[in-house]
Structures are given as C-alpha cells and as structure tokens.
Amino acid sequence: MSGLIKSSIARKVVMALSGLFLVIFLVLHVTINLASVISPDFFNEASHFMGYNPIVQFLMQPILIAGVIIHFVMGFVLEIQNKKARSVSYVKFKGSANAPWVSRNMIYSGLVVLAFLGLHFYDFWVHEMAYKYVEVLPEDPTRYYAETVEKFAPFWRTIIYVVAFVLLALHLWHGFASSFQTMGVNNKYSKGIKAFTKLFAVVVPLAFAFIAIYHHLNPITH
C-alpha cells in the first residue's frame, strides 16, 4: 500500500475521484441556483437550510473544501512532475496534430477556475462567515435572494463569472470523461460517457452563466 501512495496511477485516481466529487457538487449547486430564477422563496428556503443545517455546515462543507484543495494541490504536483519529465523542450512541437486543446491545457483552465473560486469565496462564503460568526447577526431566512441578485449588479463581476464558466466548461469537457479512463473504465459504455460529458460540460456552465446574466439584467427595484 505504501507504494500505491507514491505511484503515478494512484495520484491520477485521486485527481479523478476528487474531480468527480466536485462534478456531483456542481449538480447540487446549479440546481439550487436555478431556483433563484424560478422561485425566489424556494431559493431562500434552500439557501437557509444549507447555511444553518449542522450536517451541511460542519460535515459536508469541510469535505467539499477538502475536495477542492486535494484536486488543485494534486493537479499542481502532477504538473510539476510532468514538466520535469521533459527537461529539454522541443524546438517544434505540434500538439494540435494529435490531441485537442482542452486536454492539453487543463492546468490553465483549472487555474482560471481556481482564481474564480477565490473571488467566489470572497463574494459569498466570506460574507456568510462574517454574517454568522463575526457580526453574529440574527437568522434571516428571507435575505438570500436579494443578496444574490445584488451581487450581480456590477457588470464586471457578471463578466468575470461568465468567463470563468466558459473555462469551467472547457475543463469539464476533458476532465469528466478522462476521470473514467483513469479509473480503468474504457469499454462499451465509454462512448456514452463521452457523449454525456459533452452535454454536461455545456449545460451546467451554461446554466450558471444564464443565472448570472439573468440577475444582472433583472435587478430588484425598491
């Protein structure tokens, strides 16, 4: 088992499993976000539940943060090893001849998503922590919808979010199906997995982008 921890395949499996875990989280996230467009009341209810339920707060949230950290730290570790594996570069290297752009640039799409996560955490998570634990303000199950819509009032923030979702789409386009290959799944279901990956990589980021643009264009008028 000690050899397993150091092995390239095991590290790739860690990357694949943490990635798939984050994919599942994205589904939950986009579902709740869509409620903000369809039913503000339900969105408030769901957000309040997520914000105050002890299992979500003290078990699921730390697991999620760990998942994010494991995924990007391992990504960096693998990238450094990969760079070391070719210490002298080619004068001419035609990567586009044999592999798609998305698969060759996961580190860059990942870095953009990671940078976005910094802003996203600042926008929502830091705000929540301050509300609950620093300012210790009373519970208000009706505040979430207005807070969210207000966040998308500035044009620059909406644009940054949309750009990040485009890069998320590119990251998912390769990463989702790739994680199955890493875990040893390459069989009659692979075609279906690849097709589903493309659908998922377009639909989920598109839904996120739609929500951001929708709230930007539909501010709450007092």
Partner 1 sequence: MKLYLKIWRQKDANSKGAMVDYTLNGVESDMSFLEMLDILNEELISKGEEPVEFDHDCREGICGTCSLMINGRPHGPDSRITVCQLHMRSFNDGDEIVIEPWRATAFPVIKDLIVDRTAFDRIQQAGGYISVNTSGRPVDANAIPIEKDMADKSFNAATCIGCGACVAACKNASAMLFTSAKVSQFALLPQGQVEAAERVQNMVRQMDLEGFGNCTNTGACEVECPKGISLENIARMNREYLSASVKG
Residue from 33, 109, 178, 197 in contact with partner 1 (CB under 8 A): 178
97 lies in the site for partner 1, by CB under 8 A: yes
Q: Which of 95, 141, 154, 192 binds partner 1 (CB under 8 A)?
A: 95
8 A C-beta contact, residue 151 and residue 121:
no
Site string for partner 1, 186-205 (x = CB under 8 A): x-------------------
Binding test (CB under 8 A) with partner 1, winner from 38, 54, 58, 90: 90
Contact pick of 55, 58, 84, 138 for partner 1 (by CB under 8 A): 84
Q: CB 11: neighbour CB atoms within 10 A?
A: 18
Query: How far is Cα 61 from Cα 53, in angstroms, rounded to an integer?
Result: 11
Stretch of 89-97, 122-130, 162-170, 206-214 contacting partner 1, by CB under 8 A? 89-97
Site for partner 1 in 100-129 (CB under 8 A): 100, 103-104, 106
Piece of the chain touching partner 1 by CB under 8 A; list 1-9, 47-55, 134-142, 150-158: 1-9
> To the nearest whole angstrom, how small is the minimum distance from the Cβ of residue 168 to partner 1?
18
Report d(CA 207, CA 176) in Å as an integer: 17
Q: Which tokens in the block code for residue 31?
A: 């579902």
User: Which 8-state DSSP code applies to residue 97?
Assistant: G
Report the first-to-last Cα separation within the chain, whole angstroms.
Answer: 62
DSSP 9-62: HHHHHHHHHHHHHHHHHHHHHHHHHHHHHH-HHHHHHHHHHHHH-HHIIIIIHH
Q: Which residues lie near partner 1 (CB under 8 A)?
A: 1, 3-4, 6-13, 78, 81-82, 84-95, 97-100, 103-104, 106, 174, 178, 181-186
